[in-house]
A and B are shown apart, each in its own frame.
Chain A
Amino acid sequence: MKYQSQKVAYAYFVCAMGLFAIQVLGGLTAGWVYVQPNFLSEVFPFHIIRMLHTNALIVWLLLGFFGATYFLIPEESEREIWSTKLAYLQLAILVVGTLGAVIGYGFKIHGGREFLEQPLWVRLGILVAAVIFLINVSMTVLAGRKTAITGVLLTGLWLLSLLWIFALINPSNLSLDKMYWWFVIHLWVEGTWELVMAAVLAFILLKLTGVDREVIEKWLYVIVATALFTGILGTGHHFYWIGTPGYWQWIGSIFGALEITPFFLMMSFAFVMVWKGRRNHPNKAALLWSLGSATIAFFGAGVWGVLHNMHGVNYYSHGTQITAAHGHLAFYGAYVAINLAIITYAMPILRNREPYNQVLNMASFWLMTGGMAFMTFTLTFAGTIQTHMQRVLGEYYMVVQDDLALFYVMRWVSGIFVVAGALLFIYATFVVRKREVISAGPANPAPTVSQPLPGE
């Protein structure tokens, strides 16, 4: 590791992994409540468990993005982070805010806009942390070499932080509330986060495959251009039934359907780069996660999104288990997996070791991915039945839910696999098993260090 300040990323990844464990265990608990509804219903009701599940997810993904940024910025800019002290201060604010929010949820202290339930002081703390972060990385990038990867990454991070302002604005008019709420929710996950994902993916592929930087960066611009060109007006597919004008049905359907494009391009990009690249990098697990992330994001965010985001379909499927199916696979493929990819790539370097625990790490990929895929199928079938019975035939919600019991049992079983995979991943990341340490193969070996090589 050439730049010592990259070490900051280690602390971020450790905290992220802790919250990842909380998130999946929360999910498993919530899944069990679907099977056994009386479970914890007095002391720890469903809505509290769900807030833990979603909030822990969002915060750990953001911590992962911040860690990834601190890891790759020094290499791209060819200088140390402007201030490591500020980076640790930022992490401290985020950790205190998160713990404060989580403990508060246990005592039923929370807001009530979905995903933005954090108390006001936590939301303001996140804003302060974001400002510190932006100053820190911008100063680093401005002083150093400017690349497309840092440019796109910073654009994404600046925009997502600006959009956080809408987390502080809550109109009394419910329809206005909903419209501006989507400015955070949609424009994060179907806009700015895609920029972060694409930039991180480009960085990993650059390192693993050794393909020429010019080629990778051109792809990157094309991908993020399609992401924002479709994603910004694609917000319209959330504006069908909340009191917004009817023209959104056309805009949302057209641009929403096109939102599959950046995900298709990212998947193609990952595979084409691996085919083109002749570098034999020993960290095969990082390669598996990168290709896996791009592929699952295409299915989860792309295919499962298009499945129900056109208004004629959405009129019937809106707010059923189909949405839940899409949400789970999209978040897993796009944002969980890309974070696990950069963690898998960076962790051996941060700990100054050769890549290790590759077998366990890869096993965790298949456990988690298999579990998430099965979960998505069960929820999709449940949602299809629900859509027909409730939205076409007009049967009451609770009657329909009783008929879906078997699917919820199967969903919970698939959740066990996901949790097992997640815990295995954490073990494989932090515990070094010496007999698994591997080095580069004989043909075109690449060093495991991560500083720029000639031609990058």
Chain B
Amino acid sequence: MAEILTKSRARNIFYGGTIFFVVIFVVLTVQSHRYIVNVSTAGMPLTESVIHGKEVWERNSCINCHTLHGEGAYFAPELGNVMTRWGVQDDPEAAYEVMDGWIEAQPSGIEGRRQMPYFELTEEDKRGLAEFLRWANQTRRQDWPPHEAG
């Protein structure tokens, strides 16, 4: 072993092998990029409203309490399928109304229950957020999550 695997051979395997795996990874990334744009997220147009909603989502750092497609903090419910849970995935107007009602009702102030802060959002913000979450909800993601509960 010691004779076959010299230090310089080990070094060459490291650098050579790394390049090999990087190339495979880049090829698969390009394919995945296309798949995302053309297949998995193509069910609903990426409108101005959706993009604005994503900005609202980021500006308020929602990800640091909630998860979205299972990624984020684990302090508050999964939101990747919240529009299904609310039963408004196919109705933009109803999605906005439920979102508006929810945002305006925070914080609940109930003792011993996790508190969502009040975020001051305009109507455009809330419409965008609802559209963004509908857009996320329609993304084809290998039938995850297993239940409506998220």
A interface residues, Cβ below 8 angstroms from B: 33-34, 36-38, 41-42, 45-48, 50-51, 110-114, 117, 148, 151, 172-179, 214, 217-218, 221-222, 224-225, 228-229, 232-233, 235, 239-249, 251, 315-316, 318-321, 323-324, 390-392, 394-398, 401
Contact = CB atoms under 8 A, between A and B. Distances in A.
B74 A114 contact: no
Contact of A42 (B68, B71, B107): B107
B35 A244 contact: yes
A392 B46 CA distance: 33
B64 A315 contact: no
Given A41-B115, A395-B149, A225 B142 contact: no
16 contacts: A41-B107, A42-B107, A42-B117, A46-B65, A112-B60, A112-B63, A117-B64, A172-B51, A229-B21, A241-B145, A245-B32, A319-B74, A320-B74, A390-B150, A397-B76, A401-B114
A34 B64 CA distance: 14
B101 interface: no
Contact of B28 (A176, A251, A392): A251
Interface in B39-75: 40-41, 46, 50-51, 54, 57-65, 67-75
Contacts of A50: 64-65, 73, 75
B61 A117 contact: yes
A324 B139 contact: no
A313 to B, nearest CB: 12
Contacts of B114: 33, 37, 46, 398, 401
Most buried by A among B31, B33, B41, B149: B149
A389 B136 CA distance: 24
A175 B7 CA distance: 42
B144 A241 contact: yes
Main secondary structure of the interface of A (DSSP, over half): helix
Interface of B: 5-7, 10-11, 13-14, 17-18, 21-22, 24-25, 28-29, 31-33, 35-37, 40-41, 46, 50-51, 54, 57-65, 67-78, 107, 111-115, 117, 132, 135-136, 139-142, 144-150
A397 B113 CA distance: 13
A217 B46 contact: no
Most buried by B among A47, A318, A320, A390: A47
Contacts of A321: 74
Given A114-B72, A172-B54, A233-B21, A249 B111 contact: no
Contact of B71 (A45, A51, A114, A390): A114
Contacts of A323: 74
Nearest to B111: A38
Contacts of A320: 74
Contact of A174 (B21, B25, B54): B54
A176 B11 CA distance: 34
A247 B142 CA distance: 11
Contacts of A221: 7, 10-11, 13-14
Contacts of A235: 25
B75 A112 contact: no
B111 A47 contact: no
Given A38-B115, A225-B17, A398-B77, A47 B10 contact: no
A38 B51 contact: no
Most buried by A among B64, B77, B111: B64
B72 A319 contact: yes
A239 B33 CA distance: 12
A411 to B, nearest CB: 12
A224 to B, nearest CB: 6
Nearest to A47: B64
A182 to B, nearest CB: 9
A244 B60 contact: no
Contacts of B28: 247-248, 251
A222 B14 CA distance: 7
Contact of A319 (B5, B60, B67): B67
Contacts of A224: 14
A110 B78 contact: no
Contacts of B17: 225, 228-229
Contacts of B75: 33-34, 46, 50
A224 B13 CA distance: 10
B60 A218 contact: no
Given A38-B111, A390-B149, A175 B41 contact: yes
Contacts of B51: 172
A50 B65 CA distance: 8
